[in-house]
Amino acid sequence: MPTPLKWVSTPSLGQGRASGGSAAAELFEAGTAQRKRPLLETLVREVCQNSCDRRLSNGKARVFFDLLLVSGEEREQMLEALDWEGLKSHIEAVKGMGGAALTLRAGLEALAATTLVCLRISDSSTEGLTGDDWDEEGNFRRLCVQNFSTGDEIGRGGSFGLGKAVSWMHSRVLTVLFSSRVSGMEEKGLRVFGRSEIPAHETADGAWLDGAYLGNPGERDGIPVAESSWQDPDEASALFLDRAGIESSGTTLLIPGFHEPDREEASDLGIRDPEELCRDFTTAASKWFWPAISWGRLEVQARVFRSGSGSASYVCRAEIDGIWAPFQAASRTTPSTEPALTPGESAAMDLPGFPIPRRIRPAERPDLLHDPGETALRLAVTRVSSAEACLPCRSTIALIRGAGMVIDYVDGNRLTDGGTYCGVALVGSALFHAPTSEVAEKQGLPPQDVEEYFRAAEPVTHDDWLPTTRRLRESYDWRGSAGRLRSLRSELRQLVIQKLLIADEVAPERGPELLMRMINLGKGRVSGPAVERGEKPRLEIHLDREISWFDESRGAWALQGELIRHGRGTSAAVAGLSFRSIADSGMGEAWRISAMEPLGSERDLSIDDSDSRRLVFSVAGSFTSLPFRCLVSPPAGVDPRLSGFRQGG
């Protein structure tokens, strides 16, 4: 008989820090995605990404989402093997009205129910939980013990960083159990461990820091610890961690008291219909991992198991069906000059010259450092039937790098003819899975360097490319290239419409028609009643699209406009003029204003041009109006013919 596993909590000694919950969980609950995703999709993204990252020998990772409905004797055996009474006493001691405390109180009821709902997630043909219990670089400690830790391997996605918190969020008792058959150590059996994210609390036995661990009780430096337990598969079967039917190495996670924390509807089991839930697992896998599935890197199944039956009562698989097939078709399209004009047609183009800044850190890894260079992006699109407009992700552009996960779906501009499309943008080593082209083969930097740049630009949720992430700003000499990355979404929107989906319409090169597409003007007019009441004088800056144009020789917009003073008072009026790139999130990069020229008398007008990114106009009481013109140039690396800009004050 194996030594029974026990829960071990860490005593609160001296000034040891204690928390009231998981900071990572709070981040996900706040919703950092551009369009907040269901947490179930976030769970699927995190699990499948890490399984793809930990594949063996570039083979295919297989992932199983098993919904277990445990009752009767199996339930009693599981709770005993889980040392439920040992964990329960600590959970009951958690006080307060915080989110974690309230979840745990509901969890006590869930585990007292006659049917215990668990979600078991297993992968195969992956590394497993490598490293000993104290190896800071091993998969075991990164996933099961550490917080906010991720790997430095080239091209990886998250690799057990912040995103793993979503697994604990789906447990009503904030607990996840693990078993793993470790690659190269198969003869040792299964490695079993558990972790609970209970907040700091006090019991009759003393005060405890947050977190508790399930394993073989021991001691390290005089402090109680739990170490992982190596067991035969049969010994782990009571916890449903025996990995039955899975031959190769990999990891299993079991989430007891499974629920969906962001959904209201539920059955008597506390979850939705089990079969519907399984279909949502595989649908999410198809949505976010159709590239990895089509590249032969990933296979995903979802199953329902009920007590008393050794076989699944329901099985479904992630597939590239009619919803995602147009994206796949676009990704396999060879660049040409022919646009996609009718449903079913695809078109693609290469975007050369995308700047990658110089990498300057980490200094101790000279093999990762490189000079500034350029890369090519592949932009492709498939037209689909207008009848498909209601399907998920239509008229969007999937952002993809070599990890094989869709980073995000960018909302695209609408076609004037009502057409619908599916677009893709491929960067880095994702181009290895697309048709070759002369432009792609001649890109300046190796694909792995491009991969690292875009990976560094991803926030902790891996759902965007931003020039403001700490990893990018600390690793690269990023100044001068931030604007191009920030305006990438806007650039892709413009190109998909102008270059890949329209044939007869020639895009204007210089005049007001192009300006109408590119600029979002904030005119700031003063209403009539405000003027009539003689309120405080105000200065309006009005730009005239019709007489503004794009100066090809200087790569900037020659704008013309007028300063107009409103109000009846005699005091001075002040207004500012600035321009910024239109960005999907945050504030866009500032554009530079030069060659400012009033077209008339400058009497009663003062211009502060000490900052080329913002002009400040001040007019006296006798000022009425005055035309002007100026030149507006984009930040370095931004194409002013493709990137929109917005007027500010």
- For 191-216, what is each residue's pLDDT tens digit? 999 999 999 999 988 899 889 999 99
The dihedral through the CA atoms of 296, 191, 4, 210 has a sign that is: negative
Q: Tell me which H or E stretch contains 44.
A: helix 39-53
Kindly tell me the burial class for residue 436, based on how many C-beta atoms sit within 10 Å of its own C-beta (0-12, 13-18, 19 or more). Answer: exposed
Range in 298-307, 403-412, 483-492 the model is least confident about: 483-492
Q: Who wins on pLDDT, 469 or 346? A: 346
Q: Which residues contact 557 (CB under 8 A, 6 or more apart)?
A: 515, 518, 519, 548, 549, 550, 551, 631, 632, 633, 640
Q: What does the pLDDT average to over 155-178?
A: 75
Quick one: DSSP state of residue 200? P
Tokens of 228: 């992982």
Q: What is the pLDDT of residue 13?
A: 72
Calpha distance 182→191 (Å, rounded) = 8
Tally Cβ neighbours within 10 Å of residue 356.
24
Of 66, 380, 101, the C-alpha closest to 241 is 66
What average pLDDT does the segment 587-599 reach?
87
Helix axes of 84-91 and 99-112: crossing angle, nearest 10 degrees = 140
Q: Write down the pLDDT at residue 569.
A: 77
Q: CA-CA distances (angstroms) from residue 200 to 15, 20, 22, 159, 497?
A: 13, 6, 11, 27, 55
The pairing of beta strand 519-520 with beta strand 592-598: unpaired
The total of other beta-carbon atoms located within 10 Å of residue 265's CB is 8
Strand ordering across the sheet containing 605-611: 519-520, 645-648, 573-581, 614-619, 605-611
What is the pLDDT confidence band of residue 459, given thresholds at 50, 70 and 90? confident
Alpha helices, DSSP H only, in 295-402?
A: 325-331
Is 123 a residue whose pLDDT tops 80? yes
- Report yes or no: 436 and 427 within 8 Å, Cβ to Cβ: no
Lowest mean pLDDT among 298-307, 331-340, 391-400, 521-530: 521-530
pLDDT at residue number 515: 60
| Start-to-end CA span in the chain (Å) | 75
Retrieve residue 98's tokens.
């915080």
Q: What is the pLDDT of residues 14-47, one digit of tens each?
A: 545 555 555 545 555 544 444 578 999 999 999 9
Q: Indicate the SS3 state at residue 476.
A: strand
| pLDDT on residue 242 | 96
Q: 């190769």: which residue's tokens?
A: 248
d(CA 238, CA 48): 26
Burial class (CB in 10 A: 0-12, 13-18, 19+), 511: middle
Do residues 164 and 46 lie in contact, with contact meaning Cβ atoms separated by under 8 Å?
yes
Q: Which amino acid is at 299?
A: E
Structure tokens at 407: 């980073």
Q: What is the pLDDT of residue 524?
A: 35
Q: Is the pLDDT of residue 445 over 90?
A: no
**Which part of the chain is CATH 2.60.40?**
513-648
Query: Is the distance from CB of 562 to CB of 546 less than 8 angstroms?
Result: no
Helix (H) or strand (E) holding 438: helix 438-441
Query: What pLDDT sits at residue 37?
Result: 84
Tokens 């699990």 correspond to 47
How far apart (Å, rounded) are the C-alpha atoms in residues 377 and 379?
Answer: 6
Question: E strands along 501-572, which residues?
Answer: 519-520, 538-543, 549-551, 556-566
Q: Distances in Å between the alpha carbon of 228 and those of 14, 164, 196? A: 27, 19, 14
Least Cα distance to 225 among 236, 215, 233, 238 occurs for 215
Distance from chain centroid for Cα 324: 19
Mean pLDDT of 530-552: 76
Where helices occur in 99-208 by DSSP H, the ranges are 99-112, 139-144, 165-169
Residue 284 CA from chain centroid, whole number:
14
pLDDT at 137 over 60: yes
Compute the radius of gyration of the chain from its Cα atoms. Answer: 29
Task: Say whether 557 sits in a helix, a strand or coil.
Answer: strand
Arithmetic mean of pLDDT, 90-102:
87
Q: What is the pLDDT of residues 399-434, one digit of tens each?
A: 999 999 999 999 988 887 788 999 999 999 999 999
Strand-strand pairing, 645-648 and 519-520: parallel
Q: Using pLDDT thresholds of 50, 70 and 90, give the confidence band for residue 57.
A: confident
**What is the rounded distance in angstroms from the CA atom of residue 405 to the CA atom of residue 293?**
9
pLDDT value at 529 more than 50: no
Domain 513-648 - what CATH class?
A: mainly beta
Residues 37, 39, 40, 46: what is their CA dihedral angle, to the nearest 10 degrees?
90
Q: Is the pTM of this model over 0.95?
A: no
What's the pLDDT tens digit per position in 319-358?
Answer: 999 999 999 999 999 999 899 999 999 999 999 989 999 9
